[in-house]
């Protein structure tokens, strides 16, 4: 049992080390040897857990996807309105990016590994989660007439992904939290009638930490 716990801890240590390297140099230039250096473990220990760099990159992306969906679930528990949750989700992704190396590496890897040959699972998961929130916003009377849950969810995802791509190109993702901050206002204006947003301008500043605490 102690051995199992140690193995799980080593595995996580490798994932975080790999994530730090991926976010610093990107997928192409990351070498398994540098991951060895980053984690302080032996090459053998790493190969015991992972087959290849590709394998590690996939796991970092999966953990990033899981964390983003966990954020959706945690935010749902606040019971706040649909549009509030959308604003919170944007801000929470910006926050996670600055504190969690797996999220930072995951965003970079999804952009770099997107071959355009197949839908990207994490984008599809975001669209599904957002469809539910837009649909809730529609029920709450907070969404412009004619906007479907699908169209609203796709708009948010497109804008969010575009902000990631531009931030990646311009600042290596450093400026993404500030971009998300600015984007949130445009997203709410794009989705909500002016008089609804004017009645509750605090929606634009919704933050998970504030709602929890």
Q: Quick check: 202 binds a copy of itself (CB under 8 A)? A: no
Q: Which of residues 41-60 bind a copy of itself (CB under 8 A)?
A: none
* CB-CB contact of 46 with 36 (8 Å): yes
Residue 193 touching a copy of itself (CB under 8 A): yes
Map the footprint of a copy of itself across residues 117-136, applying CB under 8 A. 117-120, 123
Q: How far is the CB of 149 from a copy of itself (least distance, A)?
A: 13
Q: Any idea which residue has 């999220």 for tokens?
A: 103
Contacts of 210 (CB under 8 A, 6+ apart): none
Contacting a copy of itself within 135-174 (CB under 8 A): 144, 151, 154-155, 157-163, 165-166, 168-170, 172
Helix axes 121-139, 149-171, angle to 10 degrees: 130
Interacting stretch for a copy of itself, rule CB under 8 A, among 57-65, 83-91, 104-112, 205-213?
104-112
State which residue, 11 or 24, has the beta carbon closest to a copy of itself: 24
How crowded is residue 31: how many other Cβ atoms within 10 Å of its Cβ?
11
Question: What residues between 171 and 190 interact with a copy of itself by CB under 8 A?
Answer: 172, 179, 182-183, 186-187, 189-190
194 is a site residue for a copy of itself (CB under 8 A): yes
**Judged by CB under 8 A, which of 40, 44, 79, 116 binds a copy of itself?**
116
* Whole-number Cα distances in Å, 162 to 15, 53, 105, 116, 199: 26, 26, 17, 15, 29
Q: Which span (70-78, 79-87, 91-99, 113-121) binds a copy of itself, by CB under 8 A? A: 113-121
Give the torsion sign (CA, 166, 154, 142, 210).
negative
60's CB contacts (< 8 A; 6+ apart) are 15, 18, 19, 22, 102, 105, 106, 109
CA distance 193 to 133: 16
| Minimal distance, residue 208 CB to a copy of itself, in Å | 23
SS3 30: coil
Q: Which of 111, 133, 138, 208 binds a copy of itself (CB under 8 A)?
A: 111
The contact set with a copy of itself (CB under 8 A) reads 26, 28, 108, 111-112, 114-120, 123, 144, 151, 154-155, 157-163, 165-166, 168-170, 172, 179, 182-183, 186-187, 189-191, 193-195
């Amino acid at each position: 049992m102690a051995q199992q716990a140690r193995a799980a801890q080593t595995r996580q240590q490798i994932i975080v080390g790999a994530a730090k390297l991926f976010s610093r140099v990107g997928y192409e230039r990351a070498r398994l040897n540098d991951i060895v250096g980053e984690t302080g473990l032996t090459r053998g220990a790493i190969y015991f857990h992972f087959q290849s760099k590709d394998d590690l990159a996939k796991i970092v992306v999966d953990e990033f996807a899981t964390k983003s969906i966990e954020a959706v679930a945690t935010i749902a528990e606040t019971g706040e309105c649909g549009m509030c949750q959308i604003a919170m989700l944007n801000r929470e992704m910006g926050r996670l990016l600055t504190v969690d190396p797996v999220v930072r590496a995951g965003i970079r890897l999804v952009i770099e590994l997107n071959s355009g040959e197949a839908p990207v699972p994490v984008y599809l998961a975001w669209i599904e989660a957002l469809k539910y929130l837009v649909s809730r916003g529609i029920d709450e009377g907070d969404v412009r007439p004619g906007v479907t849950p699908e169209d609203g969810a796709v708009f948010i995802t497109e804008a969010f992904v575009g902000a990631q791509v531009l931030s990646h190109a311009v600042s290596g993702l450093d400026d993404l939290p500030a971009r998300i901050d600015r984007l949130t206002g445009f997203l709410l204006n794009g989705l909500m009638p002016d008089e609804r947003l004017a009645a509750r301008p605090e929606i634009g500043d919704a933050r998970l930490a504030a709602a929890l605490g």
